[in-house]
Structure 1
Amino acid sequence: MKKIFTFCFFAFALLIGTQSAMAQDQAEINEKAIVKAKELRSVLKFNDSKLEQVYNAYQAYENKIYSLDKYLTSGSTEYNEVLLKTNKKLQSSIKDALGNDLYKRYLIATKQEELLEDVED
């Protein structure tokens, strides 16, 4: 009986430890996303609605990057393809959130002027 109780206790402790590690990763992702969104807000001066949309874009981006790093080998062709798609999705989401004028300012502020030509077309 003691062995069963001890085994169940350790199994439960491992289960709780695993969930807290995942929660910590999610908290770090959310923290990165809010920091980036607030940095953009301080530079571009947009409202709370746009802040939430930019935050959601960065949160989705950080989640994808986390899973990309976890499941694929860095430098592989598949990794690079998914990374490129993820970056394009982030840019698209930010453009949708900010609109054309603020997006142009965003590209200049983040030194991504090469993407500015795509916006003007």
Structure 2
Amino acid sequence: MKKIITLCLFVFAMFLGTDSANAQSNKIEVNAKAAEKTEALHKFLKFDDEQKEKVYLAVQEYTQATLDLEKAEVVKEGAVEKIKLLLEDKMKAILTEEQFERYQSFQEE
């Protein structure tokens, strides 16, 4: 009986460890994508370091939200558009008017 309980606990611990590893992998993936996109925007828009940090955080949040939507079983209609609008609003607040216009042309490419 003790062996069965030990085996069950071991299997349960393995499931917990797998979920934790997947979560860490997702976070690394999100951070890498956000850093890559931020760097591309930095080269294109030429913003300062303070703006760069804010842009990174906005892109990181957007990337995490889109990844969560991809994994969701049920997605509300308009959720993708809402996330895009939230990113656009944040970028508009962070960037100058000229930079934001260039950002919009960058998004269209």
By the TM > 0.5 criterion, same fold?
Answer: yes
Pairwise CA RMSD: 1.8
In 1, the alpha carbon distance for the partners of 2:32 and 2:60 equals 9
Uncovered stretches (5+) of structure 1, i.e. residues with no partner = 113-121
Match of 2:100 in 1: 103
Amino acid at match of 2:98: D
Using the size of structure 2 for normalisation, the TM-score is 0.86
How many correspondences in the alignment? 108
Are 1:69 and 2:66 counterparts? no
Q: Structure 1 pair 67/110, CA: closer, same or farther in 2 (3 Å)?
A: closer
Which range moves more in the overlay, 10-19 or 64-73? 64-73
Match of 2:19 in 1: 18
Partner deviation per Cα, 1:30-55 (whole Å, 9 max, x = no partner) = 11111101100011111111111111
Superposition map of 1:47-66 within 5 A: 47-66=48-67
Using the size of structure 1 for normalisation, the TM-score is 0.79
Match of 1:40 in 2: 41
Q: Secondary structure of 1:46's match? A: coil
Match of 1:119 in 2: none
Q: Secondary structure of 1:110's match? A: helix
Amino acid at match of 2:104: L
Partner deviation per Cα, 1:64-87 (whole Å, 9 max, x = no partner) = 11222222557xxx33x1111111
Uncovered stretches (5+) of structure 2, i.e. residues with no partner = none
Amino acid at match of 1:96: A
* Structure with greater contact order relative to length (CA < 8 Å, sep ≥ 6): 2
